Structure formats: structure tokens, C-alpha cells
Amino acid sequence: MLHNLSNNNSISDHFVSQLRSESIQSDGMRFRKNLERLAQIMAYEISKTMNYTELEVHTPLGIAHESKIEDQVVLGTILRAGLPMHHGFLSYFDDAENAFISSFRSHHKDGSFEIKMEYLTCPNLEGKVLILADPMLATGASIQAALEGLEDFGTPSAIHISVIISSSEGIDYIKRLYPKAHIWVYRIDDELTAKSYIVPGLGDAGDLAFGSKSQD
């Protein structure tokens, strides 16, 4: 269920190259906008997998037979880096319900880390389509923690995991844990550092989008 959007060239290549570029990514507004644009493109691709129902639309000159999305969509976002992507998805799935997950890496002195979740809010997920957005998928631990936290809210009819850049290790990990989930990604990088950062990656997406955070 892996959807690698780098398999075909498109305008998304332009946006990803700007996200990666050290000289361009220093412009926080451009960085946020490119995350939003890439989410919009991904929203269009995800929409092709959904269920539709036919309807009649009355125009000034007659009746047109059209269709609309039948599924109820829930947009889940891992804070804070996922917020620009959330805005992009919401501009396409404008009737979607929304979930927000606040989690972070808690580092230990030996270099290891664990994912701590501080806050989660979510509507009922039973039978709905969940789209979970986070720009980076490194080890897969944050995605796993988010999905485990969302289990208390019901079983979705489909799960779409939306990321911009992933490590191959992270992809394999999530595929093993959630074999039925759709994973949507623009780039898959092979290397993870000892501290579990993706190489070449692009850096800390949250800091680049919203400014550096205190380490205290």
C-alpha cells in the first residue's frame, strides 16, 4: 500500500527541491507554503481512492449528473510540523473533521529517545477515512504512537499516512505494523543517522516552518 509520488515527474518535484534547499528553506513562509502545496497535491491523489455517490445538480439551464465524496474524512495532524500540511488538506477536504496530536522526542543521555504524547483530540473515527499527516517519517515511532493513541476513537474504514520525506527503514517499519494502511510519500531516503535523522532529508521541519524551539 505504498504510494511513492516520485515515480512520475510533476510540479511536486519543484516544491520538494525548494524544501530541501538550504538557501531557500531559510524563508519560513516559502517553506510552509511548499508543505501546504504538497499536501494539496497529495489530497488530490488520495481522493482517487475514495467512494463517491452520484447526485443531480440543478444549473440555470438544466440538470447535471455529478458525484461527490461519500466518505467522511478525518484529518489528523502531528503538531507542530504537520500544521502547514493540515491547511493544505483542509483546503481540499473542506468538510473534514479534525484530529490533532502533540508529541515529541524525549532524548536520553545514551543517545536513544522515546516518543512522548502530551495531547490528543479527535472525533469518532468509526467507519471514517483517516488521513494522518507529518512531513517526516524517520523511524516510524511518531506515526506508531499517534495511531496507537487514535485507536481509542474507533476503527477507520481506511488509513492514509501522508509524509513528504521518509527513510526506507521507517517505511518498512510502518508497513510491518500497519499492512493495510496507505503510505503516501514524495521521497524515500536510504540513510538514518545514529540520532535517527533522515539523510539527506531536509533538517527539522518544525523549526524550519515555525522557528527554533528552546532546548531547556
Peptide bond into 200 cis (omega under 30): yes
Higher per-residue confidence, 106 vs 26: 26
In whole numbers, what is the pLDDT of the chain averaged over residues? 91
In a domain, 57, yes or no: no
In a domain, 215, yes or no: no
- Decide if 173 contacts 163 (C-beta within 8 A): no
Percent of the chain past pLDDT 90, that is, above it, reads 76
CATH number of the domain within which 196 lies: 3.40.50.2020
Q: In Å, what is the CA distance from 49 to each residue of 167, 188, 216?
A: 24, 22, 44
* Count: domains in the chain: 1
Residues 46-78 pLDDT 10s:
999 999 999 999 999 999 999 999 999 999 999
In a domain, 56, yes or no: no
In a domain, 43, yes or no: yes
In a domain, 133, yes or no: yes
Write the DSSP assignment of 192-210 as a string of letters. Answer: E-TT--EESS-S-HHHHHH
In a domain, 63, yes or no: no
pLDDT of residue 214: 65
Q: In Å, what is the CA distance from 158 to each residue of 5, 46, 153, 196?
A: 19, 11, 14, 29
pLDDT of residue 110: 62
In a domain, 147, yes or no: yes
Which residue range is the domain that position 194 belongs to? Answer: 2-49+72-107+114-210
Q: Count CB neighbours of 117 within 10 A.
A: 15
Q: Count CB neighbours of 180 within 10 A.
A: 8
Residues 83-123 pLDDT 10s:
999 999 999 999 999 999 987 665 556 655 566 777 899 99
In a domain, 121, yes or no: yes
